[in-house]
Amino acid sequence: MTVSPDLISSASNPRIKRLRSLERKKGRAENSLFLAEGARLIEQALAAGWEVETLVISNSGSERDFVQALAERVSAAGGDVLQVPDRLAGSIARKDNPQSVIAAIKQRPLTLNDLDTSHKGLWIGLYECRDPGNLGTILRTADCADVAGVIMIEQCCDPYSVEAVRASMGSLFDVRLARADFATFNIWRKTAGLNMVAASVNGDTSHVGVDFVRPSLILMGNEQSGLPDAVEAECNTLCLIPMRGGADSLNLAQATAIMLYEGWRQRGFA
């Protein structure tokens, strides 16, 4: 390896303790960092211009060509490179068999001001999405359908949690993402001229009967309680996803995918 990594073997090392703290929301917030495991995710982050602050390499993977290449890229960009025993890599990733590389990546601000309202794609609003697996899966679907952006509204889960990052399969690095309270979000989407369509048990039309060709935002509710009445009252359209009688409700990520792909279908998958 042309890069000479810092060799660390003790779990009590302050740098290791800091990396391990990123499993918790408090640790991520205090350090403005989050973890991504595996060469594929880290390469996607670098390609999208995200800053890798620290790259951790396990002893067993240190001689692999792709690991050496990643280390060189991170080091050239000003990031730190650490090499640790496999057991320490496992303690950082919280896995018995971690991948060869783990990265601590700088978080990005999540504000509505960073979103480009001239983008012609569909938008997604997630009201109090609490499951990081759902959030990560939705980001992955949004990436596939080239959405204009995803807005997390009110008290949503952390998109930088290990579970959300893993479920997004790298789409976190490509999807335009923001966070806002509902009042601020609603003013923003009205100013942007977006028709707000919500999936709801109170809907009076099928989702395939909604006009998604016009500038639109798909609003999805909380996994357990859906959308509050006051929020539904602000929507332009409430629609239903058809289900057979007696069937339980759809998973949030599944329901969002159904709504999004119907909208994208109407746009000719453009």
pLDDT tens, residue by residue, 218-229 = 999 998 999 999
What does the pLDDT read at residue 247? 66
pTM, two decimal places: 0.94
How is residue 37 written in tokens?
């495991």
With bands split at pLDDT 50, 70 and 90, how would you rate the model's confidence at 96? confident
Report d(CA 174, CA 105) in Å as an integer: 14
Q: Which tokens in the block code for residue 90? A: 């496992």
Write out the H or E segment, with its range, that includes residue 40: helix 39-47
Q: How many CA atoms lie within 13 A of 193 on its CB side?
A: 7
Q: Contact at 8 Å (CB) between 225 and 219?
A: no
Question: pLDDT tens-digit profile of 22-41?
Answer: 999 999 999 999 999 999 99
Q: What percent of the chain has pLDDT over 90?
A: 89
Identify any residues that bridge with 37 across adjacent strands, giving them in sequence order: 102
DSSP code of residue 226: B
User: pLDDT at position 245, please?
Assistant: 74
Query: What percent of the chain is modeled with pLDDT above 70?
Result: 99
Q: Cα 184 vs. chain centroid, distance in angstroms?
A: 21
The pLDDT of 186-208, averaged and rounded, is 95
Instruction: Evaluate whether 123 touches 151 at the Cβ level (below 8 Å).
Output: yes
Nearest CA-CA partner of 227 in 147, 154, 134: 154
What's the confidence (pLDDT) of residue 243?
87
Q: Span 247-260, mean pLDDT?
A: 91
Structural domains in the chain, CATH included, are 6-106 (3.30.1330.30), 112-266 (3.40.1280.10)
Task: Specify whether the CB–CB gap between 104 and 35 falls below 8 A.
Answer: yes
Nearest of 13, 236, 262, 15 to residue 122 by alpha carbon? 262
pLDDT at 252: 96
Nearest to 88 by CA among 11, 190, 176, 4: 11
What's the Cα-to-Cα distance from 187 to each of 40, 112, 122, 124, 257, rounded to whole Å?
A: 38, 11, 18, 15, 25
Give per-residue pLDDT as tens, 68-80: 999 999 999 999 9
Is 266's pLDDT higher than 70? yes
What pLDDT is attached to residue 112? 97
Cβ neighbours for 34, distance < 8 A, ≥ 6 positions apart:
22, 28, 104, 105, 107, 160, 161, 162, 165
Q: What is the pLDDT of residue 10?
A: 95
Task: Provide, for the chain, the percentages of residues in helix, strand and coil under a 3-state DSSP scheme, each rounded to the nearest 5.
Answer: 40, 20, 40
Crossing angle (nearest 10°) for helices 252-266 and 132-144: 10
Give the three-class secondary structure for 169.
coil
pLDDT score at 5: 92
CB 137 within 8 A of CB 253: yes
Average pLDDT over residues 187-206: 95
In sequence order, the 6+-apart residues with CB closer than 8 A to the CB of 225 are: none
